[in-house]
Amino acid sequence: MKTTNLFPTSLLISLTLIIISCSGSKERKEVTTMAEVLPADVVEMRDDQVKLAGIETGNIELRSLSGNLKVNGSIDVAPQNLATVCMPFGGFIKSTTLMPGNKVTEGQTLAIIENQEFVDIQQNYLDAKSKLEFAEAEYKRHTELFKEDVYSKSNLQKVTSDYKSMKAQVSALEQKLTMIGIKASSLHEDDISSSVAVVSPIAGYVKAVNINIGKYVSPTDILFEIVNSNKLYLELTLFEKDADKAAIGQKIRFFINNETETHEAVIYQTGKSVNTDRTYKVYANIIGICRNILPGMYVSAVIEATANQVRSVPAQAIVSFDDKDYIFVFDKSKMEKGKSFKEYRMVAVQKGITDGGFTEIRLPEGFDAAGTKVVIKGAYNLLSAKKNAGEMSC
């Protein structure tokens, strides 16, 4: 009879345990429900996890960083060092001995050209010069006679007009003689010639020869191209986003034809506008004498940016997430259930130049750069903790 009372008692105990178990489950659910919800930009870790992840903090530093900018461009020659040679009155080529690549000096004869018009210009000048001498003598004589009341004013005015007209005619013919390379002061009646010399206006090298003996050339035809390759410059193309990275006085290292030899230049001018393709021009003078460099050559160059004091952190302190750059900053320490925790907050930044393992950062407006500790080591471990939804946190 006693054994029959045991079953109800054991059943009662089992039911009590089930109720207590369910009650405990509900309490745990309520505790879970009441747990702290962290903001999306905050990562929480226990102190032992912080140590395991190798997280260290430091300050945002002001450093002098210089960045190198790689650009492309070409070698060009200044307008004053490139000459296009023409003959204003045209004619037939009588002789020339030049070939492309020949070195020439300023004033050297490039070719001999013939034209009957040259004879006419010289003859007209000598005739006009002779008439001017007579007109000048008449002008002086009539001026004296007018002063003595021997000659009328109207006659003096006519003589003066003739004198001035002849003087202008002689001056115009002198300019024509200069254009064809004849000195008016050395021209005499016995020196008239149908041939004149085409001379080089600058010293340099013959870039192009567009004539041959017997060929007729018109005033618009280009006979020769002369280039002075001792004074070349670089024309470099930058994208508009890099326009602030080039300034007058900066040094440039450049290479040609995939050579390993380094050449140097210095920026002397920067463009004042952006082209339609969103590019920006920079011009630099080549330093020293560089072998094998010719106008039109393609170059690859490196602009050495000037050093500036900028806010910077170690390059490893910056992480990328969702196509943006971030740093982690120490937010606060706290205690939960007798355990010490630290919270780190993500802050969006913009990266600048990188030099010597440090990267420039541009911080949000109002950010306290001096009083904030930044994660300088272990930033990627914090990012992993965020991506893994707390697998490294409690």
Reported as type and span, the H/E element at residue 30 is helix 6-33
- Residue 308 in 3-state DSSP? strand
Q: Is residue 330 part of a domain?
A: yes
The answer to whether 251 and 305 have CB atoms below 8 angstroms apart is: no
113 and 193 in a common domain: yes
103 and 50 in a common domain: no
Q: Is residue 148 part of a domain?
A: yes
Nearest to 270 by CA among 258, 257, 260, 284: 284
The pLDDT value recorded for residue 41 is 86
The pLDDT value recorded for residue 120 is 93
Reported as type and span, the H/E element at residue 379 is helix 379-387
The pLDDT value recorded for residue 141 is 83
Reported as type and span, the H/E element at residue 175 is helix 153-179
202 and 106 in a common domain: yes
Phi, psi of 200 (to 5 degrees): -80, 130
142 and 44 in a common domain: no
The pLDDT value recorded for residue 18 is 43
- Residue 58 in 3-state DSSP? strand
The pLDDT value recorded for residue 219 is 92
Q: Is residue 339 part of a domain?
A: yes
Strands 324-336 and 339-355: antiparallel
Contacts of 251 (CB under 8 A, 6+ apart): 264, 265, 266, 304
Residues of the domain holding 313: 38-65+309-387
Q: Which residues of the chain have pLDDT under 70?
A: 1-36, 66-67, 149-151, 305-308, 389-394
The DSSP-derived string for 80-139 is GGEEEE--TT-EEEEEE---TT-EE-TT-EEEEEE-HHHHHHHHHHHHHHHHHHHHHHHH
Q: Is residue 31 part of a domain?
A: no
- Residue 13 in 3-state DSSP? helix
Is residue 251 classed exposed, middle or buried when 0-12, 13-18 and 19+ CB atoms within 10 A define those classes? middle
CA dihedral sign, ordered 211, 213, 215, 216:
positive
Give the domain-ending residue among 211, 227, 243.
227
Q: How many domains does the chain have?
A: 2
The pLDDT value recorded for residue 189 is 86
Q: Is residue 83 part of a domain?
A: no
pLDDT tens digits, 163-203: 899 999 999 999 999 898 888 888 888 889 999 999 999 99
Which residue has 């290479």 as its token pair? Answer: 255
Give the domain-ending residue among 196, 227, 258.
227
199 and 113 in a common domain: yes
216 and 318 in a common domain: no
147 and 52 in a common domain: no
Q: How far apart are the first and last CA of the chain?
A: 56
Reported as type and span, the H/E element at residue 298 is strand 298-304
The pLDDT value recorded for residue 151 is 64
Which residue has 């001999």 as its token pair? Answer: 112
221 and 160 in a common domain: yes
Q: CATH number of the domain that 323 lies in? A: 2.40.420.20
